[in-house]
Structure 1
């Protein structure tokens, strides 16, 4: 598996990225581990196609660790991306990353499912977001050749990701509904969770404790 990852990444895997791979493998079920690896490989290719200069180590670790809290053990209290971002930042600080690179890792994880922001951040964050969104919803899939996409998927199969990811999203809504009202999990609550009702931003504005 590691040889396959190195071959597709196009470079010899350094110890820091290997540790992130091992951590992701230990934290994620197989379908999700394959997803984070594919997302990273797609992000690398988007960077090459678009000629985006970036820190390859930051991109790798941020993308590999972006879903370490997306599992049925998660129960909040904050949204899973923020909890995961804190864990990822602690991980790279132990590797000796400085504050700037650690913050890029945090942003990569926290914003990976918010492309309306993440795609406009620093190159490492934008590429991470792009790779993740390509693998989940096919965003900008035509930027990479069909043959290359197929090779990556064959090497790291999806393993019924749509079904398994949906089940996990629904679990998060059921276990920690307060973390889902202002993000994409709200859609899964509306569609799949009986009696789910997200807090409305309109109600919040109207209920603000001011006289105007």
Structure 2
């Protein structure tokens, strides 16, 4: 971290789109998946602030709230990977929110890219931050780059509940049904073991 970060410095944008995205996530996600989505935004915002990364907070928040919506039964797809399904849901949601076609496409891209191994920050800061923060929250990668006090506060306010168990089941199911997907590759590479060893659960 280049700049000191406190939990109280992390701002959730108060816009109709952000409120709506939280409402959708609350309505369709389990409590564990909802808290994961909120933490994904907070880890991303903390990392960005500490490292001087400028980002579109509304775009990142909406994408964070909807990035796993393709895992829920109502939006699961037997045709495309869950991140693509979630990206399409986000595109439709953002159209209803009045976003331009270009901005809707950005939400789709950010959600799809959260499954990439790496997203260059110079090319896509929001995609970079969501890819990084979801990896932190699910497998514990680079969690030491978030200040300990911020980690403690985030986990107290948005506890992990059963996310390790729930996400392990979800990713295994997605991998089995969609063998060409990123989820399947993650399963083959041992993602379930990494989930169960996440230092955030220690």
Partner residue of 2:114 out of 112, 115, 128: 112
Judging changes above 3 Å, is the alpha-carbon distance between structure 1 residues 172 and 12 closer, same or farther for their aligned structure 2 residues?
closer
- Which 4+ residue blocks in structure 1 deviate beyond 6 angstroms? 189-192
SS at the partner of 1:78?
A: coil
| Kept after mapping to 2: 8 A contact 1:24/1:33 | yes
SS at the partner of 1:26?
A: helix
TM-score of the two chains, using structure 2 as the length reference: 0.81
Q: Give the alignment of 1:20-39 within 5 angstroms.
A: 20-39=21-40
Aligned twin of 1:71: 72
Q: Give the alignment of 1:80-91 within 5 angstroms.
A: 80-91=82-93
Aligned twin of 1:181: 180
Aligned twin of 1:159: 161
| Kept after mapping to 2: 8 A contact 1:72/1:171 | no
Judging changes above 3 Å, is the alpha-carbon distance between structure 1 residues 62 and 164 closer, same or farther for their aligned structure 2 residues?
same
5+ residue gaps, structure 2: 1-6, 192-202
- 1:169 and 1:25 mapped to 2: Cα distance? 20
SS at the partner of 2:70?
A: coil
Aligned-pair RMSD on alpha carbons?
2.4
Aligned twin of 2:195: none
Judging changes above 3 Å, is the alpha-carbon distance between structure 1 residues 118 and 107 closer, same or farther for their aligned structure 2 residues?
farther
Aligned twin of 1:129: 131
Which structure: larger Rg? 1
How far is the alpha carbon of 1:12 from its aligned partner? 5.7
**Deviation readout 1:167-204 (Å, 9 max, x if unpaired):** 11222234x2xx23242323436879xxxxxxxxxxxx
Judging changes above 3 Å, is the alpha-carbon distance between structure 1 residues 78 and 55 closer, same or farther for their aligned structure 2 residues?
same
How far is the alpha carbon of 1:155 from its aligned partner? 0.8
- 2:72 and 2:141 mapped to 1: Cα distance? 24
| Kept after mapping to 1: 8 A contact 2:63/2:111 | yes
Aligned twin of 2:56: 55
